Structure 1
Amino acid sequence: MADLKYYDVILQPVVTEKSMEAMSERKYTFLVHPEATKIQIIEAVEKMFDGTKVEKVNTMNNHGKTKRRGMTFGKTAKTKKAIVKLTEGSKDIDFFEGM
């Protein structure tokens, strides 16, 4: 298991049409560190955004794709995406309000 601090867990928010529609259900999507666990993601969201309380977390691992340029082969980086559902009494994440 990786020794990650809470500020290293969340890399960036995912802003797509599907993730914006899920915000009405209090679900927020983030790109997270590939070795982060669900417990680390919960702690990071609750510490970074004041007043939030996480109900559950769903994660998805996306493996790197094989790419080719001429004769050489390479792979893109693997990523991990987390969908965080907040509780009913929790405060919304203000970062997404202006989007």
Structure 2
Amino acid sequence: MPHTPASITIAQVKSMVASDHSFSVRYVPSGTKGGKPAFRCIYTIDGVAMELHSTVPGLPSQPKIMAVWPGVIRHHLRFGGGSILTLDLSHAAA
């Protein structure tokens, strides 16, 4: 059975970015969204991988799935911690 990473919310990411805590972020292919390659966002903090989840009050959290544009690019510009964004689309669904 594949390992499911812990989850992190956008509120927790904002707090982490504001505190200058060290982290890395990567985007993992996750099928398609609207016919375009889609990605899950994984933050690694203190050696622990955490998948970005969307939260809606009263519902269980769900993995945040993003298209490259504007999703991944906008998210990385705001919450990527200044790291360079590189995408390997060779494994993404066409």
Fold-level similarity (TM above 0.5) = no
TM-score with structure 2 setting the length: 0.30
Larger Cα-atom Rg: 1
TM-score with structure 1 setting the length: 0.29
